[in-house]
Amino acid sequence: MNLDPLNFLGQTLALLLLAPLLSGCIKNWKAKLQNRRGPRPWQVYFDIAKFLRKDMVISEHASWVFSFAPYVVFLTALLAGLMVPMINAPAPLRLFGGVLAVVGLLALGRFFLALGGLDPASAFGGMGSSREMTISAIAEPAMMLAIFTVAITAGSTDLSQIAQSTQSATWKLLNPAHVLAFAAMFVVLLAETGRIPVDNPATHLELTMIHEAMLLEYSGRYLAFMEWGASIKQLVLMTLLVNVFFPVGLAGPQASVAALGISLAAYLAKLLALSAVVVVVETTNAKMRLFRVPDLLSTAFVLAALALLSTFLFQ
Amino acid sequence: MKRDTPFTLLTNGTALSWADVPEWPLAEFLRNVGAELGRGERLSSFFGVPEGDALRLVAVLAFDAGNTLAVGRSQSFSGSFPALTATHAQAHLFEREIWEQHGVVPENHPWLKPVRKDHGAGPAVGDFFRVDGREIHEVAVGPVHAGIIEPGHFRFQCAGEEVLHLEIALGFQHRGVEEAIAGGPHRATVYQMETVAGDTTIGHATAYANALEALAGTEAPLRAQWLRAIALELERLANHTGDLGALAGDVAFLPTASACGKIRGDFLNLTALLCGNRFGRGLVRPGGCLLDGDTERLSQLRKRLETALAEVQQAAAWLWDAASVRTRFEHTGHLHAKQAAAIGLVGPAARACGLVRDVRFDHPTGWHRFAQVPVSVWPDGDVFARARVRWLEIQRSGDFLREQLDAVPEGETMSSLPALAPNSLAVALVEGWRGEVCHVALTGADGKLRRYKITDPSFHNWTGLALALRGQAISDFPLCNKSFNLSYCGFDL
Amino acid sequence: MSVHDTLLNRLKRGCETMAYPKGPAPALPDRHGGALKVEAAKCDASCSACVTVCPTEAIARPAGKPVALDLGRCIFCAECVTVCPTKAITQSNDHRMAVRQREDLVLGDTGKEQVRLAQALDEKLRRLFGRSLKLRQVSAAGCNACEADTNVLGTIGWDLGRFGIQFVASPRHADGLLITGPVSKNMELALKKTYIALPEPRIVIALGACAIAGGPFIGHPQHHNGASGLVPVDLFIPGCPPHPLTILDGLLRLLDRLGESDARR
């Protein structure tokens, strides 16, 4: 059955539509945990729609990089998302290098995000970019090591194959290497999506911002794509976490509609469970001091390194 | 404690004839002031009184250990005067202000810059202390900055993330309050006194009322003094609760931030229960209090107070228990007791450095002559200490209110104010929630206010923030700023 | 704070956000007074007691014309209410005071005894901002009371975020300005620059007596007596400071989010 164009289209739509909803859900649950009603989960849709229709005000110091960056951030997140299995494996897009390509695409997006923060020559943007780079310098290797761990166990760098291989032998889920890698990836998730304790996504304090600082100069359409791209990246990382490390319920190729339905339900359930954990972590912790964040990420790196070692030790 | 001093002693909230204020030639005057500051006394207010084309300087010193104030003045002079700042840092902003308001130059002042006025382009433009170097960068924040907050300009000299020096430029909110009072009090004066620093309405209104009552040779009825004390503590409770919530918010500790935001509103509503306005406007007037509370209203106040205090207790408990919060607060924004004393720091910020200074304790007036609130002190001088002092003050204000609401004095709340004595000087100090509010009133021969000097506690304390940021990470600035929580408009007048 | 404590607290206290506007509005403090009501028809022919007693000269009684009280200048001291012999000026205890046009705050004449409340934004702007309005607050010499009561709208009881209204750090992310304070000369440039940094379409809200007409400091040469002279204002919310309920009512009225129970007069 030639599922591919349908698969491609379906996953693209899912990424585009589910990402803002997920951000909105997390905001809503954080609010609920603070005993208030909070914005509706679909509020982010309204925000993005409004930004798309608004005019733009651009600093006179900005160059083509400023205008180019939002599209790069958006597209790299989307492409990376298409490579990660969501409802069924294999994922619609297969690029050479598999998981390395995913990391590379996200890194490209981050690179342009940081350049976009530097371009308008604002002090806050510059500080945000430098902080983002400091964090990613440790977060990225941690992420790669964690993914390599599962890749080695599965014998391939193709994410879909990793997911299927892990699925076929469920005892692998309790493998020490697997657990350590999952823990490392969870910390990286918090860092990459700019959540407490690494960064506060709801802050208005420019001097403490990391991710938000790079967006301060953006407006209108560009801002819409930046925000959308950021939420897609969040969805991609969370999907990576739930579907590659816990591919329970993931439908295989040539799956029946019923199997796809189960897969969708399992995927959403896992996603919501992970979001709940993120919300609880955010609500019960204070934000770390900036120069302590590399310490946290180094811990993630060490966990990932240990995970990798464990694959050799426990083979 | 009797001590030899050439200055005339004066109790807080009283007046004396202008002729009785000791007068010396300029050089001797400055030497005398310097001598007192050298002995460890504090400069509460230091300003100029124009006399024709010439100027007279007046100093109001606080002898905290002696529980008294001291006043003195110089003879008229013009042109320039040797700066006190060269030897006593406490005077630095006062001398800049004298230069700005009257044009006389303090010679050898290390950093002579305008305090509030700009020279065309706004206070953010001008000379700032700069550090040069290959890896040094300058970050300018404000006047429009972080969230819903008053405007101010902060110029950081940074090496990477570390702040080497912070210079704060204010004046954006200059509304001309002192200038407008001259020849008054006018119809609008009391309303302007209430909004000098809008969140310290009771503090400033009480100081104004006390100053005018002192000039009129009278005192507000006891019940009014009691009501003023109640309102002052309610104001303190609301703002300290808000501060704890804001500190939690700045480190993104959501439970306390959300809870305290709500509880602050509850305390503001308690003030509104008394007078209809959440900030206490329309309550304190020279002569007494405009509104009163009957038994029913006061018992309702008492009940709602208990609920709010219990809630803030729990919210604060979460804050102190969280290890992630303690790592953020401890050792951040550190200020030494010596630095604090040198710049004349007041209020909770000073008490958090271990300095025991509180106007309710050192210079009691009004109801504080009869009922004491223990002074809340914490030794460390960091953000944690400042938060802790606020927490102690919340508890102690709560206890004070409980005690006072259980023992309501009888009597009227308003009396008419006689005419102000001519050619008299009055000083009124109030411990507002940020610290010492100082109002100095001088009447002319016609009994009208010839000169009125307002010193908000922020006037002393902004320098403390600038010092506390040295060597800190720039991302800790909002937290440090919030831990001081100073008034921009109280400084700008 | 442990996870256990958080969840327990949440279950015990429940949602603390008020039901308004889907339920009745919380009551104003009983001594607050709310908006004023001025019935010029009740005035004595030669009386001008209110004019002399008003600290901001908000009341005028030109010869041969009915008394006019400008609620935009009013700092709600209630001196006029106390001094009026015929009860022509009374307190209505109504928290609703926001208007679109400055003239709608002048009370007194027949048919204009009370505030003519704000109409919603026009169709185009309502479609754009109705579900998502981001505001940049600029304190242009405000005394911090208006700012404090605006901050209170973000707390859990009021929860402004549930309407899609949010205060943002960058003016480029904002749809509107919320100005407090009489706009000092020192803040003029900053206000103008912030206004220009807002992408079109944009709105401006003047909050409080100072931002509308200078407040208690009216007439001082150090400021511009409010924001109207510098930027076009779309919504005026009187008060000193306006009660959070008044501010919320004004914002929701502008976006037409108030629902049937509190429909516009």
B partners (3+ CB pairs within 8 A) are A, C
State the pLDDT at residue B45. Answer: 95
In this structure, the answer to whether residues C163 and C49 fall within a common structural domain is no
3-state helix, strand and coil shares in percent for chain C, rounded to the nearest 5: 30, 15, 55
B200 part of a folded domain: yes
The residue of chain A with its CA nearest to that of C137 is A204
How many whole angstroms separate alpha carbon B139 and alpha carbon B55?
Answer: 39
Q: Does B242 touch chain C (CB under 8 A)?
A: yes
**Residue B115 domain-assigned?**
no
**Which chains form contacts with chain C, at 3 or more CB pairs under 8 Å?**
A, B
Residue C175 belongs to domain with CATH number: 3.40.50.12280
Looking at the structure, tell me whether residues C55 and C153 fall in a common domain.
no
Smallest Cβ–Cβ distance between C162 and the set A38, A54, A55 belongs to A38
Return the residue of B nearest to A196 by Cα.
B252
Q: B322 vs A206: CB contact, 8 Å cut-off?
A: no
B147-191 residue pLDDT tens = 899 999 999 999 988 999 999 999 999 998 999 998 889 999 999
* Separation between Cα atoms, residue C45 and residue A200, nearest integer Å: 63
Q: Are residues B103 and B203 in the same domain?
A: no
Phi then psi for residue B50, to 5 deg, are: -70, 140
Q: Could you tell me the pTM of the whole model?
A: 0.92
The answer to whether residue C45 is domain-embedded is yes
Residue C17 lies inside a defined structural domain of this protein: no
- Residue type at position A169: A
Q: What is the pLDDT of residue A3?
A: 53
Query: What pLDDT band is residue C54 in, cutting at 50, 70 and 90?
Result: very high
Tokens for A228? 């959308």
Q: Do C132 and A47 touch (CB under 8 A)?
A: yes
Q: Where are the alpha helices (DSSP H) in A193-292?
A: 220-239, 245, 257-284
Residue reference for tokens 């609703």? C96
Per-residue confidence (pLDDT) for residue A159, from 0 to 100: 83
Domain boundary, last residue among B107, B136, B167 = B107
Which of A163-177, B330-344, B448-462, C173-187 has the least mean pLDDT?
A: A163-177
Structure tokens at C95: 């928290």
Q: Is residue C170 part of a domain?
A: yes
Q: Residue B185: phi, psi to the nearest 5? A: -75, 140
Across A29-38, B124-133, B334-343, least confident range: B124-133
Q: With contact defined as beta carbons under 8 Å apart, do C1 and B321 qualify?
A: yes
Q: Which two tokens stand for residue A184?
A: 């490392």
Across the range B292-316, mean pLDDT stands at 93
A128-142, C11-25, C233-247: which has the minimum mean pLDDT? C11-25
Helix axes C145-152, B254-275, angle to 10 degrees: 120
Question: Per the structure, how many domains does chain A have?
Answer: 1
Beta bridge partners of B107: B82
User: Which residues of chain B are within 8 Å of residue C182 when distances are taken between CB atoms?
Assistant: 175
Cα B426 from Cα B212, distance rounded (Å) = 8
Domain count, chain B: 2
Q: Are residues C220 and C132 in the same domain?
A: yes
Residues B82 and B207 in one domain: no
Q: What is the mean pLDDT of residues B300-312?
A: 95
- Determine, yes or no, domain membership for C263: no
CB contact set of B34 (below 8 Å; sequence gap of 6+): B84, B87, B88
Q: Tokens standing for B14?
A: 């009283």
Say what percent of chain C tops pLDDT 90: 59
Q: Residue A48's domain spans which residues?
A: 4-313
Q: Are residues C135 and C243 in the same domain?
A: yes
β-strands B424-432, B435-443 pairing: antiparallel
Q: How confident is the model at residue C119 (pLDDT cuts 50, 70, 90)?
A: confident
B210 within some domain: yes
Q: What is the mean pLDDT of chain C?
A: 89
Is residue B216 located within the same domain as residue B76? no
pLDDT at B444 over 60: yes
Residue C263 confidence (pLDDT) above 60 = no
Residues B287 and B398 occupy one common structural domain: yes
pLDDT of residue C265: 37
| Residue B231's CATH number | 1.10.645.10
Within-domain flag for B215: yes
Domain residues for the domain of B16 are: 8-107
Q: Is residue C29 part of a domain?
A: no
The band of B324, judged by pLDDT with boundaries at 50, 70 and 90, is confident
C13 interaction partners in chain A (CB closer than 8 Å): 35
CB C254 within 8 A of CB C103: no
DSSP per-residue codes, B317-373? HHHHH-HHHHHHHTTSS---HHHHHHHT--HHHHHTTT----HHHHS--GGGGTS--
Residue type, B131: V
Domain co-membership, C128 together with C242: yes
| Candidate from B140, B146, B325 with C-beta closest to A286 | B325
**Are B92 and B226 members of one domain?**
no
How open is the CA angle B477-B479-B480, to the nearest 5 degrees?
A: 65
Cα–Cα distance, A224 to A219 (Å, whole number): 8
Mean pLDDT, range B284-299, rounded to an integer: 91
- Report residue C197 as tokens: 């940094």
B294 C-beta neighbours (distance < 10 Å), count: 8
Instruction: Tell me which of A252-266, B90-104, C67-81 is least confident.
Output: A252-266
Which pLDDT belongs to residue C261? Answer: 41
Same domain, C58 and C137: no
Same domain, C252 and C163: yes
Q: Which residues share a beta bridge with B166?
A: B156
Task: Give the distance between the most distant pair of CA atoms in chain A.
Answer: 59
pLDDT tens for the 315 residues of chain A, in order: 345 788 888 889 999 999 999 999 999 999 988 888 999 999 999 999 999 999 999 989 999 999 999 999 999 999 999 998 888 778 888 888 888 899 999 999 999 999 999 999 888 999 999 999 999 999 999 999 998 888 888 888 888 888 888 777 766 667 788 889 999 999 999 999 989 888 888 888 888 888 889 999 999 999 999 999 999 999 999 999 998 888 877 777 777 888 888 888 999 999 999 999 999 999 888 888 888 899 999 999 999 999 999 888 876
Whether pLDDT at C176 is above 70? yes
Structural domain that includes position C49? 36-95
Q: How far is CA A142 from CA A296, A313, C57, C255, in A?
A: 11, 19, 68, 47
Q: Is residue B386 within 8 Å of residue B352, measured between CB atoms? A: yes
**Distance (Å) from the C-alpha of residue B363 to the closest C-alpha of chain A?**
39
B201 and B96 part of one domain: no
pLDDT digits (tens, 9 = 90+) for B358-393: 999 999 999 999 999 999 999 999 999 999 999 999
Total domains in chain C come to: 2
Distance from CA of A90 to the nearest CA of C (A): 38
Instruction: Give a yes or no: residue B185 inside a domain.
Output: no
| pLDDT for B218 beyond 70 | yes
Closest CA to B313 of B240, B400, B229: B240
Domain termination site, one of B61, B90, B107: B107
Residue C111: band (very low, low, confident or very high) from pLDDT cuts 50, 70, 90 = confident
